[in-house]
Every structure is written in C-alpha cells, then in structure tokens.
Structure 1
Amino acid sequence: MSQQTQWDSSLAFIFAMIGAAVGLGNIWRFSYVLYSNGGGSFFIPYFIAIAIMGVPFLILEYGVGFSFKESFSKILRRIKPQFEIIAWILILFVFVVTIYYMVILSWDLVYLLSSFTFNWGTDTAAYFTQSVGGSSNLSNAGFLIIPTTIGVILLWIALWFISHRDVDKGIGRVSKILIPALFVIMAIIIVYALTLPGAGKGIDALLTPDWSMLGNVNIWLAAFAQIIFSLSMGQAIALTYASYLPENSKLIDNVLIVVTSNSLFEICTAFGVFAILGYMSTTAGTPIVQLVTEGTGLVFVVFPMIFNIMGPVGRVLAPLLFLAILFAGITSALGFFEPMLNSTSAKFGWSRKKTATVLAILGCAFSIPLTCGISSYIVGVIDSFVNEFGILLLIGIQCIIFAWFYGVERFIPALNANSTFKVGKTWMFIIKYLLPAVLIIMWAIGIVQLFATAKPFEVMMDVIIIVAVMVTSIVLTKIRPAEDS
C-alpha cells in the first residue's frame, strides 16, 4: 500500500533530511572528536568514512524508502515476515532516543531563557547541576528539576503540533524555516568568533595534525562513529523520509547535498567553537586543553563561563547559540519521531493525527522521569547504551537484509534513473561486504568498552531498556496489520 502523504518538492525533503542530520552532535561533539583524535590529521579517516560509509549507506536508505514507499516495519515484513521484529526493535530504540533527546533540548531551552539575564552566575557548573541537569548522585533521583520538567512538556507539545500535520505542512514547512535560520545564526556566531583576540590560537590547537595517530585504530573507529551518529545513519529516518518523495526525484544527488551540508556545518562550527575557546584561553590565561570538553560540559558549563567575560557581546552571542542548538535539536527530534509515527500509523491503520497524539503523550510520560535530580547522568547512560549496543548493531543487520536477502542490485534502477551521479558494482561491494564487516567490528569493540566500565546501576538501566524494547517489539510484531484484520 503506497503512502498517501508526500513532500511537495525535493527541496522540502532536503531541508528535512539536513534537519535530521544536523543536530546536537554537530555543535558540541564534532569539535571535541576532531581535537582529541589527531587534529588536522583526523580529516583523512573522516572523509574516508564519509566515502565508504556515510554516502553509500544513505544511498541505500533512500533507495529502499523510495522503492517501497511504505513504513520500515512493512518493508521488512514484505522482505520476510520474520524480519518485522527487527524493524520494531530499531524503531523503538530510535523512539527511546527521541525520549531522552527531548530532555537535552529542555536543558537548552532553560539556558536560552537564562541567557537573557545570565542567571547561571559565575559558578556555571553548579548552576547546571542544581538547576538544570542534576548530578550522578543517585540519592537525588527522588525529585524533579522543575524548569527542565516544564521545558520537556512544552517541547513535546511543539513536537506534536508539528508532527500531527501532513509531512509537507508540518515537518517540511518547519524545516524550510528552521534550517536556513540555523545556518544564518551559526554563520553569525562563527564569523564573529573568528575576529576575537586569541581565535587563531584556538584554531591552531584544533587543526595541528598528529600524523602518528593515523596508525591508531581508535582514531578510525572515532571517524566512523562520528559519521554514523552525525548523519543519523540506519535509524529509519532517511528511509522513512525518502518514502514520501515524489517520482522523478534525484536520489543520489540529494544524498550528496545532505552529506555535504552536514559536513560543512560541523566543520565550520568546530572553527567557531575553538575560536571562542582560544579567546577564553587568551583572556583568562587558561590552557585550551583544560577548556576542551564535549557535550553538556562544553555547551552548558564552558560556554556560559566564556559569555560571562565577553561583556555586551556575550549578551548577544549567548541567546544566538542556545537558539541555534534549539533549532538543530527540534529538526533532529522530528526525524527521530517520524519512523515510530509512520510505522505505528501503518500498523494500526490510525490517522497521522491520532498516532502523533498517542505517541507524544507516551513519549512525554517517559521523558518526565528523566528530568529528575540525576537527569544528565541517566540520559548519558541511556544514550551510550542505545547507540553503542542497539542502533550500531541494527545498522549492520540492515545492510545484510537489504544486500543479501532482498538484493541490493534491485535498487539500482530507481537510484540511477534521474540522478546525475550513478552507482554500480563498487557501491554494491561496499554495501554487501565492507560495511557489514566494519559495523560489526565497531559494535563488538563498543560493547566490550561499554560493559567493561559499566556500574551496577548502569547495567540495570541497560537491562530494563533491552527487556522493554524486546517485549514491545514482540507484541507489535504479533499484532496483525490493519489491512489484514
């Protein structure tokens, strides 16, 4: 059964895909990964990872979604009924990502509001711990951090409001507004950052190559991991969005536009981040190595500290930065939410509005407990497990299913039909042999590292997630699709 909903143009699809790809990881993760994995020399494994993983797998996802024009769960069920459970496991893992991602966005919303008054004070680490993200002290789990809780509720309402509409009127229209706005805001921040005293010091620290690190396998794994998570590969987002494409779409061209936009955004953002860190190092006399961190530490602790010493300019840059993160986060959250929305609607025969309403209520109900006094700790635990254990393994399994059980060559006519660039034997070799091998090796190494350092509470959380996902997947697989009833 074909999808009745459709993008009004490839432009809406491209903006939506860029929105799904460009997220928090581009802003607060890439610069750290680049700096800590050989600086300028990291670009070699980074671009190789794009060439042999990012572009080929996205082409596969576009081809699958465009060819079948059905939900992910229905696609795997059509290939082989026993595969449907694999689809639901992946979709549920991605829905879990949506649940904790909304909590991170809520932290940013709190900081966006705080940026107008700088009420994070001088001890920015204490502000984050006490008023926004909590700590790792398990005794604090019994209470909610109210500003974060309110933010989560508001953001889920916003997500529902956008997602319950047809994709073109909801996600498409919002992406056309937020993505250009995001790029303009980040351009302003980056250009100004490059004019700051000490900016050159930061850029030098970022780009100084350490060629000896190219022999370290962990650097290559870091590059492949960055591409997977930066492009939201294999999470059924690209596949679902591609299923809404009109005929005559230039699939391979669209992949190249999205990948190029994503990489340019994160590379330019890294320049801006390190220009600002160089300014802080020059002004405060703090070595850059002491300032460099990733994720919440960079955005919610180090940057407010820098804005504090910037004077009037900090009052302008702070709201712009947190607004940019909010825009990037919302468009990514829409992408994470869509596979669950699409597959659930198809499974039960519900309208898009009803499905979005039910899932938003469920998602919000699960997000709220994550705004407790150990919010940042518990989000970090879930994020590591879901990505390292669940999604990485399932990307490899998808490669095997589409390449070996269905036949990757069957997608080539649709991919090449209208595209300027073509795929052939090299692409098939990568999908059938190279990618599954790389992904399974990465998964095995990641699992060893994950559980070698896990604490009892973290293992308990991991077990709860896997049991919940497996049980729910079995139940959803057992339910007969709406058209079979």
Structure 2
Amino acid sequence: MTETANSGAQRQTWTSNRGFILAAIGSAVGLGNIWRFPGVAYDSGGGAFLIPYLIALVTAGLPILFLDYSIGQRFRGAAPLALRRLTKRAEVIGWFQTMLLFIISVYYAAVIAWALSYFYFSFGNKWGSDTTAFFLSDYLHATDEAGVSTDLVAGVAWPLAAVWVLIIVILALGIANGVEKVNVIGIPLLILGFGALVIRAVTLPGATDGLNALFTPDWGALTDLNVWIAAYSQIFFSMSIAFGIMIAYSSFQRRRANMTSSGLVVGFANSSFEILAGIGVFSALGFLANQQGVGVGELEGLTGPILSFVTFPAVISEMPGSVLFGVLFFGSLVIAGFTSLVSLVVGVSIAVQEKFGLSQRTAAVTVGVVSAVVSFSLFATTTGLWTLDTVDQYANNVGVVLSAIVMTVSVVWVARKGDLLRRHLNAISTFKLGRWWLVLIGIVGPIFLTVMLVQKVIDLISDGYEGYPDWYLNVFGWGTVGLAVVGAILFTVASWGGRDDKDFQAWPSDEFLEGQKR
C-alpha cells in the first residue's frame, strides 16, 4: 500500500495502525529485554528498581519515543532525509544514526545465529553437562584472548547465512508485505511462547526463591545515583529510541495516524515484557540454585550472552520436560532478536534507498549483502565473541547515547523545532502533549543522557573494558565510534540522487500549526 505525498512521490505505508504498533513492539522487544533487564534489576535494588525504572519510562523513554515518531511521521523519511527536512544541517545526525544501525545489525545477526543453533541443540540437550565449555570451545571455538582471526566457525556461519537471506527477502518484499507480516506473525508467537515458558518456570521447585531474589526491595538503592543511571540506561536501550529506527518506522505511518496513543501502547508493552522476562528468568534461576543447593546470588552468569547460552542451558538440563523448555526459550530469543534485526536493517536500507535513488529491492540486496560480508568477516570467526562484546559496548554506551544527546539538543535548542513537533503530534493524536514534553526532551533527557555518557567514557578511558588490550579497544571500541562519525560525514557530503527535499511540504502545514492555540 502506498500514499501520495505532497511532492508527488509515492511512499509505502503500514496497512493498519495495528501493523505499525506490532512492528514497533517487535523492534523494542529484543534480546536485551530477556537477558539484560532481569540482571540489571537484580543488581540495582530488586523491587525498588521498578520506581526509577518507571520514572525513567515516563520522563525519558516515552518523550523521546514521541520525538522520534514526530520527526519520522511529519518529514516522511528515514533518519537522514527526515532530519534534513527538519533542518538541512541535521542530515549528518541522521547518517550517524544510520551508521550505528549498520554496526549494531552486523553483530546482532550473529547472536541470532547462536540462538538458532541452540534452538536445534535443545533437541537432546546437545550442550552436555559443561555448558560453559560447550559454548566457548565446542560451539564458538573461541580463542583464549581477544585478537583478530579469519578462521570461520561453520556452526555460526551456516545459521548466520540463513539469517541474512531471510532479512534480504523480507526487505525486498517491502514494508506491508515483508516487515509488517513478519511482526504480525512473530509478535503473537513470541508472547504465546514466552508466556508458556514463564508459566512453566514459576511452577518449578525453587522458583519462589528466584522471585524473592529479584523483587525483594532494597530501598537504600534509591539514594544511589548509579541505580538511577541504570534505570535510564535500561529504558533507553530497550525501546529502540534516538538512533533512527523509530524515525524510519513512523515515516511509513499514515498522515492522520494517532501517534502518541500508539507510542503509549508500544512503551508500556515493552516494559511489561521486560517484567515478564524478569519473572521467567529468575524463576528458572531459582530452580537452578535449588538443584545445586546454593543461593541465587551465588550463581554465575545472570545477564547477557552467558545467561542465555551458558546458564540457561544448565537450567534446561536440570528440569523435567527440558526439550520443550529449551525450544520455547531459544525460539523466543530467535523471534525477539529477528524482529529487532529487521528494524535495524530497515533503517539502513531505506536511508540508502532515499539518498541514492535506488529501488526498494536494489537497496535491500545491496545493504543486506554488504552487511552479511561484514558480519561473516568479524563475528563468525574464532575471535567473533570478543569483537562482538567490544563493538556492542562502545556502539551502544557511547555511540547511541551520543546520538540521543546531539539529536534532542539540535531539535529543541538549535533548530527550535520542538514546539512545532509538539503541535504536529497534538493535531493528529488523542493524547495531547503540553509544554512539559519540551522540558523532558530538551532538559531532563539530555541531562541524564549526558551523565550516563560522561560516566561511561571516564570508565572506559581509565579502566578499559574486560581487560582487553588497549590496541584492541582502540580498533574495535573507539574505532567503532570513529567509523560512525566518518561514515556520517561521507554520506552527508554525497550528492542526493534520490528523493529531494526541495518540493516537500509537511502536513499539516507549518502555517497551520503556527496558528494553533499553544
């Protein structure tokens, strides 16, 4: 389905608001919801963490999500084109976001390949009794230390190839026939599958111990600044905001779509799934602790890839009906990761398509093939785990946070478009935004994000990361951020061969919005 824009160009649209909401939820609900939130909550005050978490959702997550929605829906483009139409100087911010999407997608695909492999391994618990040795040595063939290797790991390469083939096909089919259908099918399956897993987990012996460990509140944690930073970090990273995804997705929304109400559904659905994941994960961890005769806090690997590919296989091996539990868990990882990966690559593909005037299929194949080559070269090798860990740390904690700060400050304080975007949303939505929204995206959000960024940069400079060599961190850590900056500049100075913004007219018109009651 397409719509005719004021400029005369045709643009695809979601077939329904439901399709957009499911796609946005599919982007937000990813691997981090399952393997990051439970561990962060446990380390940050347990049940007390929900207070700063919900405050962060209301004061930063939803407001910045609305900002992404307003830019994409009003200016009808992926991040580079939409921000260029907002103010020409902001195009470089859009390309910085697009470069981050590319960088994150090439390693995110590798994690989905791991999950696909473990989905197969679930039939018969093929990881054996030593799940750590199986993951690191038998499956990944990981080197003992960080380095650079060109030795491909077949067990990663084959499922990785399948992931990229599917991605290219889905993008080539377009927004309505490809991206939307994947999410319309995938998200209900994810909810049903993970819901069944949680129901099974809470009935296991020791599940109550796990839930007590997660939700028993440590009220003293609320006076710790790091707990609040952790809450804002979790909301920020889990909602796919401020680095181009939601700008691209909302650009395919119909012009009269109710954007703020959709945003509320997406935001609260994402947080609800995180809490559901916390219940399921810690119920299972309580069971494992019970079987081993230790406390939950004595278990190793309570977050990240180690939780999913070392600790959880150990849980599955101990429980009755282990095959079904394994299939549900790793199947959920595959679906959650894949719908998020689709959104990452869409942001890149549409940006390239618009900039260079390519057809939808040409852009999809070009971006998909280039991404796959990089993905294989760096993350399907015997050093792929260490490279992935390093790139992820710097791309997310430095690159994405920097992107959010620069975008919010540029829109609100430099371009002075914040109030225009507020009135745009109010003109088409039932949930109205007051001037408090400008305070949140222009002051509260940037302050917390800046504190997060400064703290992380200081830590990385002074302490390094995971004991990796300095040269390695400079190449794959700081080099990742540098690559995003250089790529953003090069794409910005390239000539526009596709959709030009000269004849574009936003709807409703600026004159109409200026005349609205403030």
Is contact 1:250-1:418 (8 Å) kept? yes
Is contact 1:26-1:265 (8 Å) kept? yes
SS in 1 for 2:151: coil
Is contact 2:75-2:85 (8 Å) kept? no
Distance 1:59 1:19, change over 3 A: same
Equivalent of residue 389 in structure 1, options 370, 375, 398 = 398
Equivalent of residue 358 in structure 1, options 356, 366, 375 = 366
CA deviation map 1:383-411 (0-9, x unaligned): 00001111101101110122121411111
1:225 aligns with 2:233: yes
1:246 — aligned with what?
Answer: 254
1:191 — aligned with what?
Answer: 199
Equivalent of residue 279 in structure 2, options 262, 271, 275 = 271
1:101 — aligned with what?
Answer: 108
Is contact 1:112-1:323 (8 Å) kept? yes
1:202 — aligned with what?
Answer: 210
1:481 — aligned with what?
Answer: 496
Q: Distance in 1 between matches of 2:285 and 2:10?
A: 48
SS in 1 for 2:173: coil
Structure having the higher helix fraction is: 1
- Note the C-alpha offset of 1:76: 2.3
Is contact 1:3-1:244 (8 Å) kept? no
1:236 aligns with 2:251: no
Runs of at least 5 residues in structure 2 that lack an aligned partner in the other structure: 1-6, 501-518
2:486 — aligned with what?
Answer: 471
Q: Distance in 2 between matches of 1:26 and 1:163?
A: 24
Runs of at least 5 residues in structure 1 that lack an aligned partner in the other structure: none
Q: Distance in 2 between matches of 1:261 and 1:470?
A: 33
2:430 — aligned with what?
Answer: 420
1:461 aligns with 2:476: yes
Q: Distance in 2 between matches of 1:236 and 1:252?
A: 18
- Note the C-alpha offset of 1:139: 6.2
CA deviation map 1:244-273 (0-9, x unaligned): 001321111000100111111110111111
Equivalent of residue 4 in structure 1, options 11, 33, 45 = 11
- Note the C-alpha offset of 1:308: 1.0
Equivalent of residue 164 in structure 2, options 156, 174, 180 = 156
- Note the C-alpha offset of 1:351: 0.8
Percent identity of the aligned residues? 30
State the superposition RMSD in angstroms: 1.6
SS in 2 for 1:209: coil
2:512 — aligned with what?
Answer: none
Q: Distance in 2 between matches of 1:139 and 1:54?
A: 37
2:336 — aligned with what?
Answer: 328
Distance 1:323 1:290, change over 3 A: same
1:373 — aligned with what?
Answer: 382
- Note the C-alpha offset of 1:140: 7.7
Q: Distance in 2 between matches of 1:3 and 1:324?
A: 36
1:398 aligns with 2:407: yes
Equivalent of residue 439 in structure 1, options 446, 449, 461 = 449
SS in 2 for 1:144: coil
- Note the C-alpha offset of 1:82: 3.0
SS in 1 for 2:14: coil
1:67 — aligned with what?
Answer: 74
SS in 2 for 1:232: coil
2:51 — aligned with what?
Answer: 44
Off by >6 Å, runs of 4+ in structure 1: none
CA deviation map 1:159-216 (0-9, x unaligned): 1111111201111011000000000001100011111111111101111111111111
1:290 aligns with 2:298: yes
1:79 aligns with 2:94: no
Read off the aligned partner of 2:228 and give its amino acid letter: W
Which region of structure 1 is more displaced relative to structure 2, 28-37 or 464-473?
A: 464-473
Q: Distance in 2 between matches of 1:409 and 1:35?
A: 39
Q: Distance in 2 between matches of 1:467 and 1:53?
A: 27
Distance 1:3 1:396, change over 3 A: farther
TM-score by length of 1: 0.97
Q: Distance in 2 between matches of 1:174 and 1:466?
A: 31
- Note the C-alpha offset of 1:142: 4.3
Is contact 1:3-1:69 (8 Å) kept? no
